[in-house]
Amino acid sequence: MKFNTKTIHGGQHPDPSTGAVMPPIYQTSTYAQSSPGKHQGYEYSRAANPTRTALENNFAAIENGTHGFAFSSGLAAIDCVLKLLNPGDEIITGDDLYGGSYRMFTKLFEKYGLKFHFVNMEDASNVTKYINKNTKLIWLETPTNPLMKIADIEQISKNVKAFDKTILVAVDNTFATPYIQQPLDLGADIVMHSATKYLGGHSDLVMGALMVKNEELAEQIHFIQFAAGAIAGPQDSFLALRGIKTLHLRMQRHSENGLAIANYLASHPKVEKVYYPGLENSKNYMVAKQQMKSFGGMVSFKLKNNSKDATFKVLESFKLFTLAESLGGVESLVNHPETMTHASIPAKEREKIGITTNLIRLSVGIEAIEDLINDLESALG
């Protein structure tokens, strides 16, 4: 099946008991057994639930994987990946990360004996420099949050596997979605999504996802999820499955609007710099063009006036863009990374990579582009 068909039919079948086209919401915790240990594939919903199973089958299909897993949040999914490791293991990750990922790495797992190296992954050789006998995981974001850096998934995967095939390569694919890029096809072992964002697409659920195509790895992930219990509930699973059915249509419009707004901002007299991989003058435009079908709806930019007052005045002046955390919904959102999504990163680290007071991040929705540009023009004054 082509991708647009997979979003609707991938891993899906009518309900066998009723013929329902959409999988029912199985709001149940336990299941009857005909004899001890004899059941119809379900015994307790922490292990599996039919609604969640339908979603997880769809997760696997849209990332060209064999197994999908639905978690209670994106961070719960990342937590599961890190639990594959042992004290003393080392992880190489990007210097520009979602603030929650950075917080989890440094505040939780470092005290459990894991060591993290934060490097600029725009240059694949930076990853290779830090690989040693203790390296067990490469954690990529591409595009990154919020500076939209691009990492070459295929090249990094090849370099890592040439050193040691057992090192896992995991990609946070939240910003791009499988409509735009499919990391498993580029050599990655694990794909992660905050399904709260584009996969759900309607700002009405919190969920994480992992997709793999290795049986042994899938068994390990399932055991950790079952043992730790960070599962998605049936209601949220139903909502996510509904959202994915229009993923391809939404991402087409997100990408069209994102590119139009990036071009508008690039020529605005009050804007110092625009961060968007679809601009031909962006640092890794050619890598992005090679591994991405389009460039998505996430755009960051810096104001020429770098004062807090000027930045907050712009943020408070939007009418259509809503000032809020999160991203990836049908509605447009505006975010201030320094004080919102990336506040958990120490100020010195933020400033070092460019997350400054005058940085604004947009999640461009699917509204009429003329209305969005008018709102930007008004807010920028």
Catalytic residue ranges: 46, 98, 172, 197
Token duo for residue 82: 């890190």
Q: What is the DSSP string of 276-313?
A: -TTSTTSTTHHHHHHH-SS--SEEEEEESS--HHHHHH
Q: Is the dihedral of CA 185, 277, 196, 252 positive or negative?
A: negative
- Of 189, 248, 221, 174, the C-alpha closest to 80 is 221
Query: What angle in degrees, to the nearest 10, is found between the helix axes of 50-62 and 234-244?
Result: 30
C-beta of residue 379 within 8 angstroms of C-beta of residue 314: yes
- Give the whole-angstrom CA distance, residue 290 versus residue 307: 37
The CA-to-CA distance between both ends of the chain, in Å, stands at 48
Residue 202, token pair as written in the block: 């309607």
Give the strand order in the sheet containing 115-119.
67-71, 208-212, 190-194, 168-172, 135-141, 90-94, 115-119
Helix (H) or strand (E) segment spanning residue 162: helix 153-163
Q: Residue 38: beta bridge partners?
A: 35
- Measured CA distances, 153 to 49, 161, 182, 221, 238 (Å): 33, 12, 10, 22, 31
Q: How many CA atoms lie within 13 A of 284 on its CB side?
A: 21
Whether the bond into 337 is cis, omega within 30 of 0: no
What's the per-residue H, E or C state across 260-284? HHHHHHHCCCCEEEEECCCCCCCCC
- How does DSSP classify residue 26? -
